Amino acid sequence: MTSHVLDRVRDRAFAERIPLAVHFDLTYRCNERCVHCYLDHEDHGEMTTAEVKDVLDQLASSGTLFLTFSGGELLLRKDFFELLAYARQLQFDVKIKTNAILIKEADAVRIRDLGVRQVQISVYSHRPDVHDAITKVRGSLARTIAAIRFLSACGLKVTIANVLMRQNASDYHGVRALAKDLGAEYTLDPTITPKMNGDTSILALRMPEAQVLHLFKDAAVVGEGFCSLPTEADAETLDSAPCSAGHIACYITPYGDVYPCVQFPLPSGNLRQQRFDDVWHHSPQLNEVRSIRTRDLTTCPSCTYVSTCTRCPGLAYMEGNMRGPSSADCEKSMLRARAASPEGASE
Amino acid sequence: MSVFVVRGEKLAARKVGGEMVILSAEDSSLFVLNEVGTIIWEAADGRTSIQAIADAVCVEYDVDPVSALTDVTEFVQALAAAGIVSTSEQAAR
């Protein structure tokens, strides 16, 4: 994708408040029980096929182009392919996130033929014992790898998402090599978030600081330029919106709740009671999120790292204040600067 | 002989702020069409001919029919080269 063209489209969407990108979880039910998962896996009354289709119709007419279908494990929905076909008929750009263990060869062909652009699959380790211990499903790595081979063989773009935590902190080289072997792209993320219900017990799984620093110093993995020394914040930085949540993006739960982002569980409306456009344009919660600029944050504008920080407003919200700092991002900002400093390089 | 225009497969499309944005699932290439390109894309149902699209452009932009047909034909060829549309001498059913 040509980045400057995409930037132009995003700028236009931002200026005109168009919900360009929507993350839509079709179910929270799952066939894995990952130790770090932020969801509960009960079905509290998912939207029906007709309700989901109605929401998709509304999103299409509101201007959504980028649609991520995720879960839970979305292939547990019996109407998954019907919904996928409907979304493609409405000309969405569809990305699906799955653990892939239910995907057989015929499913891969079907996904390809429906015009899905990208399939993102979670892999925690190249070692079956480590991966399966995280998913709590014996044999899950083997099944996931088999599915990736099916998907790659029929020409689909597959991205392996490698969430890192204490259990698999040293396995990213192995997963990266596995991705290369499978013809998949690789992305990693050391972020463990609190559960949607506010339970923070899983934060104990976060990688220790020394391991994150070690990871950040590995430019071959995190990319050149990921770590840099902070510079003085300019007016453009301070006048910018903290992120795209609520501006050009939002999240929809299987029950029709609308949040600014999957990581920002601020209830902003419900699509069983309201039209999407009403929520998007008139929700007081979304309008509050939209009103915030970096200079409005409580402590961040005067922070040394404000120019390089990737502060997540959703994580800040879960810590108690959407205008406050997100301590996990504070830590990462400091570690990126340390990794880029001469002293840090020798640590 | 009439030539009919049909949208390419495996493409995503949405009008964003008045511009038609097209994204290919096969290679992630991204296109932003101008107004004439958007008219062609929206008319590319396999049953609308290039001549009919040119007629619509004439009405919309008050240009002479010969210039409109030339411009639309060239535009369709460019879009076809990019894989956004294809042409057929038979109308879709």
**Res A213: pLDDT:** 92
Residue A48 CB neighbours (<10 A): 10
Q: Report d(CA B4, CA B44) in Å as an integer.
A: 8
CATH of domain B4-88: 1.10.10.1150
- Model-wide pTM > 0.90: yes
How much of chain A exceeds pLDDT 90, in percent? Answer: 83
B-chain CB neighbours of A5 within 8 Å are 30-32
In this complex, the residue of B12, B24, B30 whose CB is nearest that of residue A91 is: B12
Q: Chain B within 8 Å of A324 (Cβ-Cβ)? A: no
The two counts, helices (H) then strands (E), for chain A are 15, 8
Q: Chain B within 8 Å of A248 (Cβ-Cβ)? A: no
Q: Please state the φ and ψ torsions of residue A251, each to the nearest 5 degrees.
A: -130, 140
Domain ranges within chain B, ordered by starting residue: 4-88
A-chain CB neighbours of B11 within 8 Å are 91, 115
Q: Please state the φ and ψ torsions of residue A35, each to the nearest 5 degrees.
A: -65, -25
**Mean pLDDT, to the nearest integer, of B52-77?**
91
Test B23 with A1 for CB contact under 8 angstroms: yes
What residues are paired with B20 via a beta bridge? B15, B33
**Res A343: pLDDT:** 75
Which residues have C-beta within 8 Å of that of residue A283, sequence separation ≥ 6?
A: A258, A268, A269
Q: Which residue is associated with the tokens 């925690």?
A: A124
pLDDT in tens, A4-39: 899 999 999 999 999 999 999 999 999 999 999 999
| Surface-to-core class of residue A247, CB atoms within 10 Å of its CB (0-12 exposed, 13-18 middle, 19+ buried) | buried
Share in percent of chain A as helix, strand, coil (round to 5): 45, 10, 45
DSSP per-residue string spanning chain B: ---EEEEPSSEEEEEETTEEEEEETTT--EEEE-HHHHHHHHH-EEEEEHHHHHHHHHHHH---HHHHHHHHHHHHHHHHHTTSEEEESS---
**B29 CA: distance to closest CA in chain A (Å):** 5
Q: ipTM of the predicted structure?
A: 0.91
A168 has a pLDDT exceeding 80: yes
**Res A231: pLDDT:** 84
pLDDT in tens, A258-312: 999 999 999 999 999 999 999 999 999 999 999 999 999 999 998 989 888 889 9
Taking a C-beta distance cutoff of 8 angstroms, is the pair A295, A288 a contact?
no
**Res A1: pLDDT:** 64
The chain-wide mean pLDDT, for chain A, equals: 94
What residues are paired with A96 via a beta bridge? A69, A119
A236 has a pLDDT exceeding 90: no
Q: Chain B within 8 Å of A60 (Cβ-Cβ)? A: yes
In this complex, the residue of A5, A63, A157 whose CB is nearest that of residue B14 is: A63
**Res A345: pLDDT:** 67
Q: Chain B within 8 Å of A91 (Cβ-Cβ)? A: yes
pLDDT in tens, A323-344: 999 999 999 999 999 988 877 6
Between strands B19-24 and B11-16, the pairing is antiparallel
**A154 CA: distance to closest CA in chain B (Å):** 11
pLDDT in tens, A32-87: 999 999 999 989 999 999 999 999 999 999 999 999 999 999 999 999 999 999 99
Q: Report d(CA A122, CA A119) in Å as an integer.
A: 10
**Res A145: pLDDT:** 98
**Res A2: pLDDT:** 66
